[in-house]
Amino acid sequence: MQSQQFIVSLLVNNHSGVLTRVSSLFSRRAFNIDSLTVGTTNDPKISRMTIVSWGDDRMKDQISKQLQKLQDVHKVQLMDSEKIVVRELMLVKVRLEKGMLPELMEAVNTYRANVVDLSTSSMSIEITGETPKLNAFLEFISQYSIIEMARTGPTAIGRNTYCLKDDDDPINDEEN
């Protein structure tokens, strides 16, 4: 079986210890987490986790089943890459030297990024999009002196009626 990247989303209780239990499950089975994003949902008692990892179909199935057994986990879903929107956030601070501003602004506009901080010595840029777009921007911007960079990793949400919802949620969704 071929190993491939996959995204799993979870709805979990929003309290201490939940993240530890989820990451420990991966660790005990020697599975790597490439990226992990967590945030509260519209219900402050529930958080959504988006985990990116690599594995074959057997491993994906095993992870999904094991996650469903964890206390505090309401819902686990292996996201169908054909039915989701995936985005990532990156913040990059570059050294600003005399005469560089117009060229950097052109890159910011071309990549549909935003300047979030500007001083006489540096520029901080925010960019969101799919991973290949961020990688291309990073490759371009690497010709300048990068002072600092932070990246969230991918997060995903379903397109149209494809969504991650609690089994107790009354939303009617035939596609899910």
3-state secondary structure the chain: CCCEEEEEEEEEECCCCHHHHHHHHHHHCCCCCCEEEEEECCCCCEEEEEEEEEECHHHHHHHHHHHHHCCCEEEEEECCHHHEEEEEEEEEEEECCCCCHHHHHHHHHHCCCEEEEECCCEEEEEEEECHHHHHHHHHHHCCCCEEEEEECCCEEEECCCCCCCCCCCCCCCCCC
- In DSSP terms, which residues pair with 11 in a beta bridge? 48, 75
> What CATH number does residue 148 fall under?
3.30.70.1150
- Total count of domains within the chain: 2
pTM over 0.85: no
Residue 112 belongs to a domain: yes
> What CATH number does residue 57 fall under?
3.30.70.260
Q: Could you tell me if 23 and 50 lie in one domain? A: yes
Q: C-alpha distances in angstroms, 147 versus 63, 66, 117, 125, 141?
A: 38, 41, 13, 12, 11
Q: Could you tell me if 28 and 50 lie in one domain? A: yes
Q: Could you tell me if 64 and 100 lie in one domain? A: no
User: Which pLDDT value is given to residue 173?
Assistant: 44
Q: Could you tell me if 71 and 97 lie in one domain? A: no
Q: Could you tell me if 100 and 149 lie in one domain? A: yes
Q: Could you list the pLDDT tens digit for every one of the 176 residues in the chain?
A: 688 899 999 999 999 999 999 999 989 888 889 999 999 999 999 999 999 999 888 989 999 999 999 999 999 999 998 999 999 999 999 999 999 999 999 999 999 999 999 999 999 999 999 999 999 999 999 999 999 999 998 999 999 888 887 655 544 444 44
The domain in which residue 147 lies consists of 85-155
User: Which pLDDT value is given to residue 31?
Assistant: 87
Q: Could you tell me if 93 and 40 lie in one domain? A: no
Q: Could you tell me if 148 and 99 lie in one domain? A: yes
Residue 111 belongs to a domain: yes
Q: Could you tell me if 34 and 97 lie in one domain? A: no
Q: Which amino acid is present at 121?
A: S
